[in-house]
């Protein structure tokens, strides 16, 4: 079993759609949780951290359920510029563990 | 703005060659990391370093070594390149202290092809 598993992609959605990504992690001792974004042929960049209370940054909402070891990312009112691969990331000790990513393609 | 640079964007080498991938960061970060990224497998940690002259094995260190002689520079070495080391190699750095791996800043990557 992979340490961090994400929804298989790709997700193809029209502009304005709401899209949700899910992620599960296997180590209950994981300490911190994040979503990174990676554009095509570019490096990953931090999108947002994920807190137990849930957190929002504009059109993006992240949720964490420690009991279920489940992380989610909701994108509202999708834009063409949201097209990218979204990486679910978990910190275990001194290391970050990356999911394989879910590709999102927003179409006009 | 944090800047992490890698010596080459694209590299083509032959089987058996010794390959050096260089990474430099300009933000005085103590932590540096080397990953490889392959389709369907995501990013996998090869080696990391929390300080000069210090190195720790990641999840897939076999066939690789590293060098950290200066704080800003972290080198990945393929002693004898093989075709299964064809991949995208990403370097990252982060701030010091507990929890500092939370935000890692990545370089643009080196796409290595081993023929």
Pairing of strands A95-98, B19-25: unpaired
A55-104 pLDDT per residue, tens = 999 999 999 999 999 999 999 999 999 999 999 999 887 789 999 999 99
The reported pLDDT for the residue numbered B98 is 52
Q: pLDDT value at position B82?
A: 97
- pLDDT at A53 exceeding the cut of 90: no
B102 touches chain A (CB under 8 A): yes
Is A100–B48 a contact, with Cβ atoms under 8 angstroms apart? no
Residue B81 CA to residue B17 CA, distance in Å, equals 5
A interface mutation test: which of B6, B25, B43 has the most A CBs within 10 A?
B43
Contacts of A32 in chain B (CB under 8 A): 99, 102
**B74 touches B49 (CB < 8 A):** yes
- How sure is the predictor about A1, in pLDDT bands with cuts at 50, 70 and 90? low
How many percent of chain A have pLDDT more than 90? 78
Please say whether the beta carbons of B29 and B95 come within 8 A: yes
- The beta strand positions in chain A, using DSSP E, are 4-6, 11-14, 19-25, 32-38, 44-50, 55-57, 60-65, 70-75, 84-92, 95-98, 102-107
Closest by CA to B91, choosing from B71, B110, B72, B65, is B110
Q: Could you tell me if A91 lies within 8 Å of chain B, comparing CB atoms?
A: yes
* Separation in Å, CA of A2 to nearest CA in chain B: 10
**A43-56: average pLDDT:** 91
The b-or-e profile of A3-42 (16+ CB within 10 A means b, else e) is ebebbeeebebeeeeebebebbbeeeebebbbbbbbeeee
pLDDT of residue B102: 66
For residue B113, the number of C-alpha atoms closer than 13 Å in the C-beta half-sphere is 5
């Amino acid at each position: 079993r992979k340490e961090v598993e994400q929804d298989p992609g790709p997700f193809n959605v029209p502009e304005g759609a709401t899209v949700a990504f899910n992620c599960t992690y296997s180590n209950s001792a994981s300490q911190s949780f994040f979503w990174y974004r990676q554009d095509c042929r570019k490096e990953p960049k931090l999108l947002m951290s994920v807190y137990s209370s849930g957190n929002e940054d504009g059109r993006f909402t992240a949720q964490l359920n420690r009991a279920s070891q489940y992380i989610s990312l909701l994108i509202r009112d999708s834009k063409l510029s949201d097209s990218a691969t979204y990486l679910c990331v978990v910190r275990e000790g001194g290391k970050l563990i990356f999911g394989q990513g879910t590709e999102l393609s927003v179409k006009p | 703005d944090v800047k992490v640079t890698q010596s080459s964007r694209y590299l083509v080498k032959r089987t058996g060659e010794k390959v050096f991938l260089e990474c430099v960061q300009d933000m005085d970060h103590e932590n540096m990391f080397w990953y490889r990224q392959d389709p369907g497998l995501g990013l996998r940690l090869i080696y990391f370093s929390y300080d000069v002259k210090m190195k720790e094995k990641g999840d897939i260190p076999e066939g690789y070594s590293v060098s950290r002689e200066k704080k800003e520079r972290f080198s990945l070495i393929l002693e004898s390149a093989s075709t299964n080391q064809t991949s995208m190699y990403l370097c990252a750095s982060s701030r010091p202290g507990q929890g500092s791996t939370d935000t890692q800043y990545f370089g643009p990557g080196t796409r290595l092809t081993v023929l």
